[in-house]
Structure 1
Amino acid sequence: MEVIALSKTIKGVDVLKDINVRLESGNIYGVVGRNGSGKTMFLRALAGLIVPTTGEIHIDDLILHKNMDFPHNMGLLIEKPSFLNYLTGFENLKLLADINKIASVETIKRFMTEYGMDPESPKKVKEYSLGMKQKLGIIQAIMEDPVLLVLDEPTSALDETTINIFRNYLNTHKDNKIIVMTSHNKDDINTICTHVFTMTDGVLQETA
C-alpha cells in the first residue's frame, strides 16, 4: 500500500496534510499523537471511508476510489464498535460472516472462546460491558484473516489478559498482513509495532 501526497480538507480545515508513506506486509505500523491530531482520519482514509481532497492511495496495482471503493480483504475497527443490540454476540458475528462466507461457525466460536466469551451465551449485546463490545469488535475485524488490518485504539477497555492475547495474535499473524493501528497504550506501540509514526496537526512523520 502506498499513500501519495494525501491531503484532506473538511470545512476549510486541513485535517490531513501531504502524507506520503509506503506500507508493506509483515509490519505493524503504530500511529501516535494527541486527540484531534488526525490519527483516526488517517485510518479512515486507508480504509476508504473518506475520499481524499488531493492525492491517492495505491493498493498493489489498484487505486482506492478509482478501481475500488474499499480495500479488498480488510479487517476494520474504527472508534467504538457498533452491533445489533437485540442479538447475541455470536449472532452478530455470524450475521457479518454470512456476507463474505469466509469465517466459519467453528472459527467464530474459536475466537470467542479464545477471547473469554461464551458463543452459546443467550446474553444480548445491549447487556454487554464496554470491554465485551471491544472484544466483539476485535473478533469481527480478524475472523476472516484479512491481509489489511486497520485498528483504532483496539485495546481500549480491555483487561490485561485480553490485551496479551490480542498482541500475541498480531505478532504471530503479521507476516502476510499490513497492520496499522493507533493506541494511547504505550506498551502496544513499544512492544509490537515495527514502525511508529507521529501525527501532528495532520502531518505524519516516522519516529522509529
Structure 2
Amino acid sequence: MEEVTTTVAVKPVVMLEGVSKVIRGRTILEDVSFEIPPAQIVGLSGLNGSGKSTLLKVIGGFIYPTEGRVVVFGKEIGKEAEFPDKTGVLIEKPGFLTSMSGRKNLELLASIRNEIGEKEIREVITLVGLDPDDKRPVRAYSTGMIQRLGIAQALMEHPELLLLDEPTSNLDREGITIVHNVLRDLKKKGITILMTSPNMEELRYICDTVFWVENGHLGKEPPQMQ
C-alpha cells in the first residue's frame, strides 16, 4: 500500500492584512501585509521615519491600525486582545527609574504580573552581559548598559514573540555579539523575533528574512540594491 503523507499547515505567529496607519493626516503605513512563521528572525530596515517603529507598535498593540487587521497568536489585536500574549517588547529608548539598580528595576516590573522571581531576573541580566549584583543606580549606567537592560526586560518573562526596535543600537562590538548570540539561541528554542535596524548588513547576518520599509510600504530590498 502506498504511504500517504500529510503536511500540517504552520500557523503564523504574526499576520498583517492590509494594515494602514494614518497619524495627524499623515500616512505612516500603507496596505502592509505579511506573515511571520514560528521560530524565525525577521528584520525591518529603512531610513528614519520610514514606518519601522510604527509597525512594531501596531503589532504590539500600543497603537491600532486605521485600516486592516493585526493577528498575533491567532487573536486580532484591538478586538480579541488588547495586547498580544506572550510578547516581549523593546521599542524606542528603554525607560527605567534612574535612582534604582538595574535588578531592582526589573524586580519592580516583574511584580506587575508576578510570573517570575529573583532567580529568573538574575539569569536574564547575566544573559545580556550585565552583573545582577551591580548596585549602582541606572543613572550611572552607560547608554549601552541601559540598552542591554532593556533587552533583559523584554526577555525576562519568557516570551514566545519578541519585538525589538534597534536592539544593538549604542552597543559596542562585544555587546552586539552578545545580543546576536542571545537571539540565535532564542530562535533555536522556538522563539519568534521581529527586529529593526538601520543596518541592512546586520539584518542579513542575523535574520532569516529581511524587509525594507520605505514610505510605509514593505519590500525585500532597498531600491538601490535590487
Asked if TM exceeds 0.5, the reply is: yes
**Residue from 181, 193, 196 that aligns with 2:207:** 193
Distance in 1, Cα, partners of 2:127 & 2:18:
41
Q: TM-score, normalised by structure 2?
A: 0.87
| Structure with max Cα Rg | 2
- CA-CA distance at 1:101 after TM superposition: 2.6
Q: Which amino acid aligns with 2:146?
A: K
Distance in 2, Cα, partners of 1:112 & 1:83:
15
- CA-CA distance at 1:187 after TM superposition: 4.3
- Show structure 2 runs of 5+ residues with no match: 1-13
Say which structure, 1 or 2, has more relative contact order (CA 8 Å, 6+ apart): 1
**Residue from 53, 73, 82 that aligns with 1:69:** 82
Q: Which residue is 2:51 aligned to?
A: 38
Number of residue equivalences: 208
- Identity over aligned residues, as a percent? 40
**Hey, which bits of structure 1, 4+ residues long, moved more than 6 A?**
none
Q: TM-score, normalised by structure 1?
A: 0.94
Q: Which residue is 1:171 aligned to?
A: 184
Distance in 2, Cα, partners of 1:193 & 1:60:
21
Question: Residues 83, 33 of structure 1: CA spacing in aligned structure 2 closer, same or farther, 3 A cutoff?
Answer: same
> What do the CA deviations read for 1:90-118 (whole angstroms, capped 9, x no partner)?
00011112222333312221222333322
Question: Residues 187, 100 of structure 1: CA spacing in aligned structure 2 closer, same or farther, 3 A cutoff?
Answer: farther
Contact 2:73 2:84 in 1 (8 A): no
What SS class does the counterpart of residue 71 from structure 1 fall into?
coil
- Root mean square deviation, CA, Å: 1.5
**Residue from 129, 136, 140 that aligns with 2:153:** 140
What SS class does the counterpart of residue 120 from structure 1 fall into?
coil
**Residue from 46, 55, 59 that aligns with 2:68:** 55
Contact 1:16 1:42 in 2 (8 A): yes
Distance in 1, Cα, partners of 2:123 & 2:173:
20
> What do the CA deviations read for 1:113-135 (whole angstroms, capped 9, x no partner)?
33332222221112211111101
